[in-house]
Amino acid sequence: MKKHVAGQPTEVELQILRILWELGPSPVREIHARLQTEKETNYSTTVKMLSIMLDKGLVKRDENAQPHIYRPVQSREKTGQRMVSDLIEKVYDGAAMSLVLQALAHSKATPAELAEVRRLLDELEGQSP
């Protein structure tokens, strides 16, 4: 029986998810080959990580295919939204603006990024009653 563990993916789980988002549904061998270029690991560790991710509900496995094919449960965007929401709640006590200000202060935004921030702010202001 699968147990769905709440919480964020670990660093290695995120590496595997990034591989799956890039490659699409893939067998263990392809995932391991790509992971091997980023992090020295053995095949059995990759299999174990995918098993843990399956138990956590981070990936699905097509058991009708041979070899089994793994795919992420959520898109990169949905995972990012969930992680950012958790970060806002846990670190910034629900204050999204604090995160935005911290992010903008931490790294230099490009003119295109600043324009996108302005566009989003204008859009949000237009939604106000």
CATH class of domain segment(s) 11-72:
mainly alpha
- Reduced DSSP (H G I as helix, E B as strand, rest coil) percent helix, strand, coil of the chain, to 5: 65, 10, 30
Per-residue pLDDT tens digits for 29-52: 999 999 998 888 899 999 999 999
Give me the residue spans of the domains in the chain: 11-72, 76-127
Q: What strand order describes the sheet that includes 59-62? A: 26-27, 69-72, 59-62
**Count helices and strands in the chain by DSSP H and E runs:** 6, 3
Cβ-proximal residues to 104 (8 Å cutoff; 6+ apart), any chain: 117
Contact 86, 8 (CB under 8 A): yes
Question: Where is pLDDT greater, at 40 or 21?
Answer: 21
pLDDT of residue 104: 84
pLDDT at residue 1, as a whole number: 44
Q: How confident is the model at residue 63 (pLDDT cuts 50, 70, 90)?
A: confident
